[in-house]
Structure 1
């Protein structure tokens, strides 16, 4: 059984539509980068906080053992 697919003709954009599309894509990419950078900063800040808490806990525990 042969299947028949009809190819849709390519949608031709006007220069104004193309510029609007490109501007929207650029804005979306910039927003995605801002969100990514904010997530990375939050991750690293949290990691630093947890490392400091662990070091303080280990120092406290080491002080108890040596007493």
Structure 2
């Protein structure tokens, strides 16, 4: 059985490697920022809902 080696990639030049690594780094930083923003929004909403629940429970306890 013969192997088809036509799918092999050409080796990257050092400049191409640097460009690829820089693009990956930028994408990773953006992903981390997006994740941090989502986490902050989640916890802010969680605290808001907690405060509303505690206010409802306090009002129900008074009634």
Q: TM-score, normalization: structure 2? A: 0.90
Q: Verify: 1:6 aligned to 2:4, yes or no.
A: yes
Q: Which runs of 5+ in 1 are unaligned?
A: none
CA distance in 2, matches of 1:61, 1:34: 41
Where in structure 1 do 4 or more consecutive aligned residues deviate above 3 Å? none
Question: How far did residue 10 of structure 1 move?
Answer: 3.0
Partner of 1:24: 23
Q: Which runs of 5+ in 2 are unaligned?
A: none
Q: Which has the larger radius of gyration?
A: 1
Map residues 21-60 of structure 1 onto 2, 5 A cutoff: 21-60=20-59
Q: TM-score, normalization: structure 1? A: 0.85
Question: How far did residue 51 of structure 1 move?
Answer: 0.2
| Aligned partner of residue 31 in structure 2, secondary structure | helix
